[in-house]
Amino acid sequence: MAHITILVALASILLLTLCKAIYNAYLHPLSTIPGPRLAAFTRLWLFRADLSGHAHTTIQRWHDACGPLIRIAPNELSVRSLDAYTRALYCQNTRFAKADYFYSAFDNPHGSVFSETGKQAHAAEKRLMAHAFSRQNILGLQQRVLYPNVEKWIERLRKEYVERGRAVTLWLATQCLTLETAACFNYGSGAEAFEAEGFEHELLAGFDVLPKIVTVFQHWPAVRTAAMWVQRLAGSGIAQVNAGASEGFERLVAQKRQGETNGMIMFDSMMERASRNGMPLDRTRMVNNGSLMLVAGTGTTAASLTTAIYYLVKQPQLWYELKRQLLDKIGDASSQPDVVELEKVPLLEAVVKEALRVGNPIRGRNPRVTPPGGWDFSGVHIPEGTVISSAQLFYCADPTVFPEPEKFMPERWLVEDTAAMNRNLVVFSLGTRSCIGQK
C-alpha cells in the first residue's frame, strides 16, 4: 500500500510539472515572445547559461536572431533597447523594482546595500556611504591610499619579474592591487595582498567560487537554507570572504577607539554619520557590506585595469604615445600627480573608457520586476510581475555605435562628438541603483 501511495504521489508531481510546462509554453501571457524553446518550459535553460559564466553572450546571440525582446525563462524576459534601459528599467525614477530572487542570493538575514530591494532602506544606507564615495573624499585619499599601494605594487612586480625572473599572472596581480586598495578604503588598513606568494591571496580564491555559488542560490533558493552544507561547498569562498571583512572591521573599530581615524575611511565615515543622525548600525550588516565592497571593488576594477594593461602591451605605439602625453603633463615619472591633472590627458581618458567598455566588468542581467499595470514595449504588453532585464554589455558592444566593438581602439574616443558613445557606456548602470563606486 505504501508503494502505491508513493507511486501516486510521484505520478501527481510529474503530471503537475508536465501541465505547468505545457501552460508555460503555450498558454502563458509571454508564450508569443520568441526565445530559446526550452526557456519557455523551464528555468533550466537560464540556469545552465548562468552557470556557464557566458549567459550575457548567449542572450546577446538570441537577441541577434530574434530581435529586441526575448524570453529567457517562463516568467523572465531580456530586452535590448538603450531607450528602455535609460528611460524605463534603470532610470532615476524607475517603477521597476529589483527582482528579489536574483538579489536575495547575495543576501543573508542581515542583508547588504546591494541586496536591499526596499527603496527607502536602500536610500538611507546609501546616504550614509555617500560622503566616503564623494569625489572630494576620494581625491583626498590619493596620498594616503592610492599612491602608497601603487608604489608597493610596482615594487612587488619589479621583484617578481626583474629580481626573481618569474612570470607574473596579470589578473592575479591587478586583483591584489585592487583588493589592497579596497581594504584600505573600507577599513584604513590593508589585507596584506602584496605579501601573497605569486599574488595568490587567499581571498581571491574565495572570490573565484562566489559566482557559481550565487548562481545556484538564485535558481534554487532552497539551497540557501542548508547553510552548513553551503559552507562546506564554498570552502574558502563565502566563509573566507566574510571572515576577511570581519577582520577588517574589527581593525577599524580598534583604531577608532584609539582615536586613529579621521572620518575619511568608508566605514568610519558611515559610523560617524549614523551616530550624528541617531541611526543604529547592525554590526553583521556592516560586515556584509564590507564583503560586498571587497568583492565588487576588487574584481571590477581589476578587470578594467587588466584590460588596459594587456592592450597597451599588445599595442606598443599606443603605449609610447600615452607615456609621452603623461610625461608632457607631469614632467617627472617618479612624481605623484594629482588625479585632477591626469584627467586632463586626452589619451589616458580614452584608454580608461575603452578599457571599461571592452573589459565590461559587470556582465550580469540586473533583473527588475514589471510594475502594476504592466509595461508596453515595442507594441507588446508585458504583464505586471514579469521579470525583465537588460545587460550593459548589449550597449557597450553595439556595432552601430562602436564599429568593430571587439577591438580595443581608444582613438574612437578622441573625436569631437562622443555623445552617442557616452550614452552607450553604461558600465556603472544608471539611476539610484547605479554603482556607488564609479567616481
In the annotated binding site for heme, the residues are 435
Beta-carbon contacts of residue 398 (< 8 Å; ≥ 6 apart): 82, 405, 424
Query: Are residues 64 and 31 in contact, defined by beta-carbon separation less than 8 angstroms?
Result: no
Element (H, E) at 377: strand 375-377
d(CA 209, CA 351): 30
**Which position has the grid cell 501571457?**
29
DSSP state of 277: T
Count of helix runs (H) and strand runs (E) in the chain: 20, 7
**Which position has the grid cell 537560464?**
46
Binding site as annotated, residues: 435
Q: Is 182 helix (H, G, I), strand (E, B) or coil?
A: helix
d(CA 136, CA 399): 36
d(CA 417, CA 208): 39
Largest CA distance in the chain: 89
d(CA 370, CA 99): 9
* Sign (positive or negative) of CA dihedral 378, 79, 426, 313: negative
